[in-house]
Amino acid sequence: MDKPTRVARDSLGELRIPAEAYYGAQTARAIENFPISQLKLPRAFIRAQGIIKWACAKAHEQLGVMDSKKAGAITAAAEEVIAGQLDDQFAVDVYQAGAGTSQNMNANEVIASRAAELLGGERGDYSFVHPNDDVNKSQSTNDTIHVAMQIAGMELLAHTLDPALAALQQALERKAQEFSGIVKSGRTHLQDAVPMRLGDEFFAYATNIKRHRQWLEQAAANLLRIGLGGNAVGTGINTPPGFAQLATSYVEQYTGLNFQLAENPFTFNQNPDEVVLTSGVLRNLALALQRIANDLRLLSSGPRTGLAEIELPAVQPGSSIMPGKVNPVLAEMLNMVAYQVQGCDTAVAQACAAGQLELNVMMPVIAANFLFEIQILATAVQAFTDKCVAGIAANEQRCAMYAEHSLSLATALNTQLGYDTASKVVKHALAKNLSLRDAGIELNIPEATLDQALDILKLSQTIPRHMNPAPDGIVHSTPGEFHPTGDFPEAGD
């Protein structure tokens, strides 16, 4: 049995849409025109659209250009969008009309229909609240879609990704402290190098995450500059005086994030460069995570034919044919996410380069890829931290064995014997399959000299620098809150 329909109208004429739909004719045409991927812009973006419509209605009411009854209905409907109660009504494909006109109209139509219901009318009856004249008042696709992706990006960064990275940083620091007394062989060029502490290796990972968080915070500050009120090209056409500042302040109030008005609305409409900048930092973060994941896979390789210096938690069987095999699946997952993020960043960069004159019409695909990379980084890092890093165990005996048998321990002989003599000891040890100490004895080097020079505990001790290490040798940090200010010096400062 066919579902009931109703007649919807737009400037192109009439068409029938599902009777229960809150969206209208323009959304329905987009659904019909773009059955491309079945991918939709994410929840965070729809929430951001709701925040924008809420903020604009509040500003119009305060400025006296919209009556309180209508503004109240719009804000109430927008709050339902923000809360996710109407997500099933946002049905436009990611790959849609340029700039995101269909996506903007989807929000306008849904909010207008729901506001009509709240005022005692029926969904689709625009005599109560009109999607263009009221919900979209003082706005354009060209500014609101750009603003929505920056609001959504900032909320995801502040509330999902940075907390996940902070937890990873802390987990790595805890492992650094736990492993601070374990000596292992360093490796450069994948060849034996001088001894080091396993804790120092893990603290290097933690510090790298810390600085990527700082870089991300610096880049994200640019997302706080939004161009509400610039309207179609940046002139602010059809907007009442004071609207841009007031609407922006309502966005700041709702989100609790320090959103401010963009310095130049023309620049804002033309260039989604803030997103491209932040996406590039996310790509670099993905590369850092990829490197850590690869290191953990190498360090845990084995258990009998690899390095096996650490053991990762066993979370699932690793083979459909080899019994008892366990694979580093969380690290492998993180690698896959890192590759996907790099692909998303490439799409963002290329789409940004497609801007022309007063507008970049590729914003829907920019938004989709930008928000997707934040989302998958956050969830992947959380899983990696909780199910892998937190449960890593060290194989102390294996680490010590490698450290004691590394021929690069001969580096410590340089200061007492000279490079050439130390090289002879290495060659003799390699030829006779001896330890460096035994090779040195055969070459008549005093045992006291060998014992002093080849003390792996002493050789692996970190040399104090400006970082003022804690008593356990590990520098601890407390990840702070993610709070980019968006305060930038004026030109000439």
Q: Are residues 41 and 126 in the same domain?
A: yes
Instruction: Encode the chain (493 residues) as per-residue pLDDT tens digits.
Output: 678 999 999 999 999 999 999 999 999 999 999 999 999 999 999 999 999 999 999 999 999 999 999 999 999 999 999 999 999 999 999 999 999 999 999 999 999 999 999 999 999 999 999 999 999 999 999 999 999 999 999 999 999 999 999 999 999 999 999 999 999 999 999 999 999 999 999 999 999 999 999 999 999 999 999 999 999 999 999 999 999 999 999 999 999 999 999 999 999 999 999 999 999 999 999 999 999 999 999 999 999 999 999 999 999 888 888 888 889 999 999 999 999 999 999 999 999 999 999 999 999 999 999 999 999 999 999 999 999 999 999 999 999 999 988 888 888 888 888 999 889 988 998 899 988 889 889 998 888 888 888 888 888 887 665 444 443 444 444 445 666 765 433 434 4
474 in a structural domain: no
73 in any annotated domain? yes
Give me 23's structure tokens. Answer: 């969206």
Tell me the β-bridge partners of 193: none
The answer as to whether 187 is a domain residue is no
According to the model, what pLDDT value does residue 350 have? 97
Rounded to whole angstroms, the Cα distance separating 224 from 76 reads 25
Residue 106 and residue 168 in one domain: no
Contact 410, 438 (CB under 8 A): no
What CATH number should be reported for the domain holding residue 250? Answer: 1.20.200.10
For the domain that residue 22 is a member of, what is the CATH number? Answer: 1.10.275.10
Burial category of 470 from C-beta neighbours within 10 Å (exposed 0-12, middle 13-18, buried 19 and up) = exposed
Is 146 within the bounds of a domain?
A: no
Decide if 319 is catalytic. yes
Please indicate, yes or no, whether residues 28 and 86 belong to a single structural domain of this protein. yes
Domain of 249 in residue numbering reads as 157-172+197-395
Q: What is the number of helices (H) and of strands (E) in the chain?
A: 18, 8
**Is the domain of 164 the same as that of 76?**
no
Checking 114-122 for CB contacts under 8 A at 24+ apart, the result is 114/22, 114/77, 114/80, 114/86, 115/70, 115/73, 115/74, 115/76, 115/77, 116/73, 118/73, 118/76, 118/77, 119/69, 119/70, 119/73
CB 332 within 8 A of CB 117: no
CA atoms within 13 A on the CB side of 467: 14
Residues 6+ apart with CB under 8 A from 178: 199, 394
Distance, CA of 320 to chain centre: 33
Residue type, 137: K
Neighbours of 464 (CB within 10 A): 9
Instruction: Map tokens 């929840």 to a residue.
Output: 43
Query: Are 359 and 211 contained in the same domain?
Result: yes
Q: Are residues 420 and 350 in the same domain?
A: no
Give the pairing of strands 13-18 and 5-10. antiparallel
Active-site residue (options: 319, 320, 406, 476): 319
Angle, nearest 10°, between helix axes 162-178 and 198-220?
Answer: 160
For the purposes of burial, counting CB atoms within 10 Å of the CB of 252, is it exposed (0-12), middle (13-18) or buried (19 or more)?
middle
Q: What is the DSSP string of 261-273?
A: E-S-HHHHHH--H
What pTM does this model have?
0.92
User: Are both 286 and 420 inside the same structural domain?
Assistant: no
Please give the full DSSP string across 96-155, using - where no structure is assigned: -SGGGHHHHHHHHHHHHHHHHHHTT--TT-TTTS-IIIIITTT--HHHHHHHHHHHHHHH
> What's at 113, amino acid-wise?
S
Q: Do β-strands 225-226 and 260-261 pair in parallel, antiparallel, or remain unpaired? A: parallel
Q: Has 189 been annotated as catalytic? A: yes
Same structural domain, 227 and 167: yes
Q: Domain with 437 in it: what CATH number? A: 1.10.40.30
CB of 39 closer than 8 Å to CB of 94:
yes
The total domain count for the chain is 3
Helices 273-299, 363-387: inter-axial angle, 10-degree rounding:
30
Cα 435 to chain centroid distance, Å, stands at 47
* Host H or E run for residue 297: helix 273-299
In a domain, 349, yes or no: yes
Residue 410 sits in the same domain as residue 328? no
Catalytic-labelled residue, pool 11, 189, 320, 466: 189
The answer to whether residue 10 is domain-embedded is no
Q: Is residue 492 part of a domain?
A: no
- The H or E element containing residue 25 is helix 25-33
Domain-located, residue 438:
yes
Is residue 235 located within the same domain as residue 127?
A: no
| 436/411 same-domain check | yes
Give the C-alpha separation, 169 to 385, whole Å: 9
Instruction: Say if residue 255 is in the same domain as residue 349.
Output: yes
